[in-house]
Amino acid sequence: MHDGRHELREFWAQEELVEKSHLPQCQNCGTGDLVPLSDFGGQGAPIHYKAWACTNPNCGFNIKIRNGDIYLNEPINSGSGHVPRSR
């Protein structure tokens, strides 16, 4: 059985490696960087690099993986109206 704290430490260690390395330049606009985004699955397991998004707000390029399918340039929402689900 995995210790949830160990998995979180591993998750953040991998995130820090990406932060310390050079991020790829967005090929869509040429000015922003592509930053990786991670998430947690339905059972709380980390999903690393589930999406990449351009840091240039005028560009909006993004690529996401959902259920094994790849999605390009989906609308980006602010998330301000999101209500987190209770655990």
Q: Quick one: the chain helix, strand, coil %, rounded to 5?
A: 20, 30, 50
CA angle 29, 32, 33 (to 5 degrees): 120
Q: What is the maximal distance between C-alpha atoms in the chain?
A: 45
Read off the pLDDT of residues 30-65 as tens digits, 9 standing for 90 and up. 999 999 998 888 888 888 889 999 999 999 999 998
Q: Which tokens sit at 50? A: 């589930």
| Number of CB atoms found within 10 A of residue 64's CB | 16
Give the separation between CA 68 and CA 62, rounded to whole angstroms.
16
Is 86's pLDDT higher than 90? Answer: no
